[in-house]
Every structure is written in C-alpha cells, then in structure tokens.
Structure 1
C-alpha cells in the first residue's frame, strides 16, 4: 500500500564571535582534517561529567577497550552517544557519534554500520551534503529500512521531496512501524495533506511502545501539533500530556503543550511548560516561543532577558530560525540576510526559502524575495508562517489580491503562529480592510479530522 501520497538591539560580543565562527566553519574543518586526532582515542576517553554516569556509554567503552573484536561495542557506543544527544539536546554528543563511526571504520573497515552511524550524525549536525553520499551508498549496497530512512531524511532537508518520497516508501514497504509511519506523515504534511498526515501520525503513535521513552514522546508531541492545526485543541493538549507521561522532561512535548495553551489564549498557563522547554533546549525555536509568551502575559522584563540570551546564542544554535526571529522583530536585517543566505547553501527546502524571503523583505528587498516565496509555497505545505510571510511580502510589492489570499489562509490556521505573529497578521489584515473571524481554537472548540 502506498502511504506516501494520496491515492489519486545590540549584539553581544559572544554573538558576533559565534557568527564569525560560522563563517570559518568549513575552512577550519578542512584545515584541521590533516591533523585530526585518533578518533578511537577521543571516543574511548572518559565522557564529560554530565554524561559520564550513562551506564550504556560506560559499558560500551569498557567492552570496546577490552575486546579483540571491538566493532559491536563501538556500534553500541555510537548509538548511545546519539541517544544522549536526543536526551540532552546537546549536539556535542553527535560529534562523538561521528568520531565513533570513524573509529569503527578504522577497527573494521567497510562496515555499513559505520556508514549508517556517521550518516546519522552528519545529518543531525546539518552536514547534509556530506551525509547524502553515505546514505546513497548504504541504499545501493545494503538497502535496510534505516538506510532508506537516512536517505529520505537527508533529501527532505535538501528540498528534494520526490526522492525522499521514494526512500520513505521503500522504508515503509520493508518495515511498517512507528518510524516509517511518522516519516510518511511528515511527507504528507509537507505536500499539503494535513488530514492524511494526522491519520498516519496517529498510526505511528499507536505503533510505538511507551516504554521506548523519547522516540514515542516525540511522536506524541508531533501528533499534538497536527491536532492543533486541524482544530482539535483539546485532543492536542491530551497528546502533549501523554508525551509528558512517557518522558516528563521531553522538550518538544513541553513546547507543544505551550503552543496549545498560547493558541487558547492561556498565556500565563503556557509559561511553565515553555520555561522548562527553553531551559532544556537552547534552540531559538524554544527561546522565541518563551519570549513571545512573556510578552503576551505582560511580563516584558522577563521577555527581554530571554531575548538577550537568544541574541547571544541564536546564530550558533540554529541560524535559520534565528534569521526568521531577527527579520520578524526587524532587528539587524543584514545579519538575518547573511544567515539565511548561508543556510540556503546548506539546505534548499521550503522553510529555508521562506527564511531567505523573509530576511530579504526585512532588508527592504521585497522584489528579490518573491521568487523565494514562490519556492516556499511550491510543495503546497500548509504552514501558517509560510502563508503569513507570503501575504506580507505580497503586500510590499504590492500584489494586493495575493496578499489578501495568503493572509486569509494564514488566519485560517492562525493558531499555529506565536501571539506576536498573530497580532502582526491581524494588523496587516486590518490595513487591507480584511475582517478576521475568530478561529475555533480561540473559542476552545474542536472539530474532527478526517
């Protein structure tokens, strides 16, 4: 069965240092390669204090040091580092996973297990161009479900959805289950089929074992966000709570709960989960949501504190989202543009085209932004932020009828925007004389998904 498609401010010195470091990242990686230390010495050394108590890491390190044939222990060690990265939201563990894959290749050359581990680490570190040939080699030479998953993930981030669909369908054919259903659901959502995505993500949630912990919590959190977009706010809240029962400190689930509460206008109630989520995960997505919630709750001083931390670290943590944040807040448009342009060199998906369009518009170059708006909308993705940005840029050109169209579509799923974005959307619609009706989410009502 084909599941994939329907039938039929001031910037701190630390911030500037991080930005400069991003500029030199490729050069420093190349220049350091010749003098790179032994990967086995790195991964078999004692882990940092916050991870050293991880029994799986310690056990795998001990076995790898002692074994005549260390490959199985090294493979377990690498995936233990991946699990630590997912648990702690610290990408440093992915660097250790990559080094473990390199060590595994030294100890036992040519093993596909080393290719898969390294490809996963590279993808997680947003080194998509390096990950793609590894994924293609795995698919060509072995063709296991996880090989197709890696290829699909890389191609999705590179904006090559046709190839990603084929990879995910192959994964589904080989092994239906939570991981393949959730990827198929994401592809459905990217292609504009919200209800197909929701059905598949619900199926993924039912296929997961709650004892698996973090992966199941992630799936429940994703269901929550799709339920919210479909207008089922109470079901969304229940799914976020179910995720937190499985993994109480799961940052994506806390963020999802906060988003639902913000959509319902319960700003004060949204603050505790968003504060905890932002404390766990330093990504700009989390900090931006918390800052917006503080503003919505009339706690401006606390919002400014979060914003200061975001300005300091955002460029290093997630340049694309930070570029969106700067452009939305109309701060440092030249920095937003620089970050977005660099990101487009790394990944060419709809969200990166949207980020570049929004940064260009913030820099007063709306005419240049429009082709990127068209690329951002080309797959049919139903995303409120994409629609809002399209409407705002159309209004700047001006293309008033298109602005009306995209503003209307953004308002139809406006519960997915942050409070500040919803206010900007309302003001822009009023300027064009468009009357915005109250959404079911604002009233706390639900509607059924198909």
Structure 2
C-alpha cells in the first residue's frame, strides 16, 4: 500500500510535488470560501493561504474580531467557525483546555441552527481530538468523509483517532488515503509519526523536515510546531546541536512556543545546565501552567536537591492531571515513575487500557505493574507497548528493567 511504502526512507516526495500541492490547497481554499451562506463572514481559515498570520498576537486579534462580529450578528456561522478555529490553535499554544470547551460551544450553536454545515462538522472532529475524545473524532471524521470523500482532512482526523486508540492498521490506512489525495504538511507529519512509531526515527526525521518545508511562513504557529517536532527527532538520534538549532528555528517562527521551549530546556538539561532549563520552564509555566510543565519542573528541582520545592510541583502535576486537564495515561505513568500511589496508578492505567490500546498507555500500565512487583503482568503489558517496533527510550528502558526482573524471578 502507499502508506506502507512511505514508511521506508527512500520513498520521499520531491519538492516539485510540494509546489503543486500549494496550488491545490489554494484552489481548495478558494472553493471553500465561496460556500458560505449569504451574510456569513467569509475568510480563509487559520493557517491557509490568504488568512491572517498565526502569531500569538494575531490569533488573539482573530478571537477579538470574531467575538465582536458574533456580538453584532449572532447567526453568523462563518464568524463562529473562524472563532473556533483560532480558539483551537490557542489551546495548543496556551495549554488551556477551557479554550477548547469554548470552541465546542461555538460550534454547537452553529450546528444547532445548521446541522449539515460541513465546515463546522469538520472542525468538530479536530476539536474532539484536542479533547482526547478519540472514538467520537473517528465517528465525526467518518461522517464528514461520507459527505466529502475527496477531502484529505477527514482522513487525517480518522487516522489520528485510530492512532491514539492504538488501532494502528486503521490509522495507517487513513493516512494512506490522505497522502494519496493531497501530499501536504499535515500528511507528511503523519507519515513521520507512523515511521517513528515503527522505530524508523531517521525516516521520521526526513518526513518531518518535509512537513516543515511545506508549512508557509504565514502560519508561524504551525511552522514552530513542525520545527519543534524535528528537534524532538534529533534528540532521539542523539544529535543535540541539530536539535537546538531546530528548537531555535521554532522559537524564531513563534517566540515562546511551548514545544520549542520544552524541547530546548530538555537538551540543555541533558548537557548539565539545570538552572537554565529550570528558568525556561518556570517562565513558560508562569504564562501557561500545565500538569506536564509542573512535572518537568519538579524533576529538575529534584535533580538539584530541592526536594520540598519538587514535591510542591509534583502535587500540582498530580492534581492537574486528575482534575483540570484529565489525562489518565500521563497520570498513571507519572505516579509510577515517581513512586506515588502505585495502586492508584494501576487502577487508572487499567481503566485507560480498557478504552485504548496505544503503546504509551500499555507502557504506563506495564510500569505501574512493575512498581507493584507484578512482574508477569508487567511483561505482558510491555510486550504490547513494544509491538510496533518503537525505539522510544522510556519504553525501551522500562522493557529492559522488566526483562531483568523477570530473569531474576525465573532464576530463583
């Protein structure tokens, strides 16, 4: 299949195809812009040709403008969709789940008045993904695919939902169709992740660099995200200098982008600059606190011997993952890694695995079992976490520890 062939490093798409894709995207956006109802606001969606740029300030301005438009014209579906579009982008930048909830309310109002509104239904799928409502995202994507089978965005949503649920064959099939319909930055980034999952980190890097190259300068938020992903892949390849260059490129495109800051901080911490890394993460947390940032800051403080301060951050991370931004997989793994409430970690991970079977959730369950001394259960779970051939360092380290423990048990 096409996607399967893309998973080998040699089958990369030429730059001339990217140029052709830009023209295709421009035409698709032109067609979509002429489908609005009479009186609706019509403008290019965030991140597409002809749209305002996606800097922090310009995203905020788009939200302000569309709020004002809707205050004067509450039935303007076009303004509502553009508002939801900007809110979802801000969710990624600010780590504020409340923005996605607001976007859902905006889209719900549109669909209550016009249930067949395609643009609103399509964005609803992306919103479900951002809220980790993966089964709903798949269903929304399938409905939209049935309505417009030649829109590649729908296959991306379907594939992402299946991927997060651990249904990898279905995900790769959807990405196959997406890439066949329209090679683009979004398609290249999905090929990159598919390769990474299967242990082909070098091939993933090639694809993600294509994604960055295919992202326009008029979409600085997406460009920063792509460069940060390139940096993460360089880290996996032990190329710290190249990783820092990629994170710097991300910060140049979108100053303060959280993925760039977190990535750069991780590299300099690995190089021994714990104080510099801590300063970067604390500044980011002051502006946009998240449970993940609290956990990372706690880990740095622990390494610096500041145990009480670290414990305060760990408490923030745990409470955040339990209430403000629920993420069972991350919470279970955090608890297991920090030897906190292991019985809770097992219960949380077991519940998560009953709903999804991605390798990271299986790994969280395996590590919780390991910390509880349930070595055979840990062996079974980690085998599922390794099933794609991933080279993820944490998963591989957990597998090695579990394997060693199993060998000791067998030798008794």
Fold agreement, TM-score > 0.5: yes
Mapped contact 1:128–1:346 kept (Cα < 8 A): no
User: Hey, what's the Cα distance between the residues in 2 that align with 1:330 and 1:148?
Assistant: 40
Tell me the equivalent position of 1:390.
Answer: 399
Q: 1:237 to 1:73 in 2, by over 3 A?
A: same
Residue number in structure 2 paired with 1:220: 227
1:112 equivalent to 2:112? Answer no
Cα gap change, 1:208/1:311 in structure 2, threshold over 3 Å: closer, same or farther?
same
Unaligned runs of 5+ in 1: 9-50, 402-450
- Structure 2 counterpart of 1:210: 217
- Separation in 2, partners of 1:110, 1:188: 36
Q: Quick one: which of 74, 82, 86 aligns to 1:80?
A: 86
Count how many residue pairs are aligned between Structure 1 and Structure 2.
Answer: 358
2:270 paired with 1:270: no
Q: Report whether the alignment pairs 1:187 with 2:194.
A: yes
- Alignment match of 1:340 (pick from 349, 372, 379): 349
1:227-277 CA distances to partner (integer Å, 9 max, x unpaired)? Answer: 111121101011111111122221111110011112223322322222233
Deviates more, 1:222-231 or 1:60-69: 60-69
CA-to-partner distance for each residue in 1:279-327, whole Å, 9 max, x for gaps?
3444433222222222223333432332232233232333321211211
Relative contact order, higher structure (CA 8 A, sep 6+): 1
Mapped partners of 1:363, 1:260: distance in 2: 32
User: Are 1:4 and 2:6 matched, yes or no?
Assistant: yes
Q: What is the alpha-carbon distance in structure 1 between the residues aligned to residue 64 and residue 275 of structure 2?
A: 42
How far apart, CA to CA, are the structure 1 residues paired with 2:343 and 2:79? Answer: 48
1:378-436, Cα deviation, whole Å (9 max, x unpaired) = 000110110111112222223689xxxxxxxxxxxxxxxxxxxxxxxxxxxxxxxxxxx
2:257 is the counterpart of 1:257: no
CA RMSD of aligned residues (A): 2.3
Gaps of 5+ in 2: 11-56
Is this contact kept in 1: 2:9–2:206, CA < 8 A?
no
TM-score, with structure 2 as normaliser: 0.81
Structure 1 Cα separation of the partners of residues 320 and 74 of structure 2 = 44
In structure 2, relative to structure 1, the CA distance for the partners of 1:102 and 1:333 (3 Å cut) is same
Given that residues 9 and 202 in structure 2 are in contact (C-alpha distance below 8 angstroms), is that contact kept between their aligned partners in structure 1?
A: no
* 1:141-164 alpha-carbon deviations (Å, 9 max, x no partner): 213121111111111101111111
The residue aligned with 1:61 is 67
Provide the secondary structure at the position in 2 that maps to 1:77.
helix
Give distance in 2, aligned partners of 1:168 and 1:399: 43
- Tell me the equivalent position of 1:357: 366
- How far apart in 2 are the matches of 1:61 and 1:121? 19
Secondary structure of the residue aligned to 1:210 is coil
Q: Secondary structure in 2 aligned to 1:398?
A: helix
TM-score (norm 1): 0.74
Residue 7 of structure 1 and its aligned partner are, at CA, apart by 7.3
Q: Distance in 2 between matches of 1:363 and 1:68?
A: 55
Q: Decide whether aligned partners of structure 1 residues 62 and 266 sit closer, same or farther in structure 2, where only a CA change above 3 A counts.
A: closer
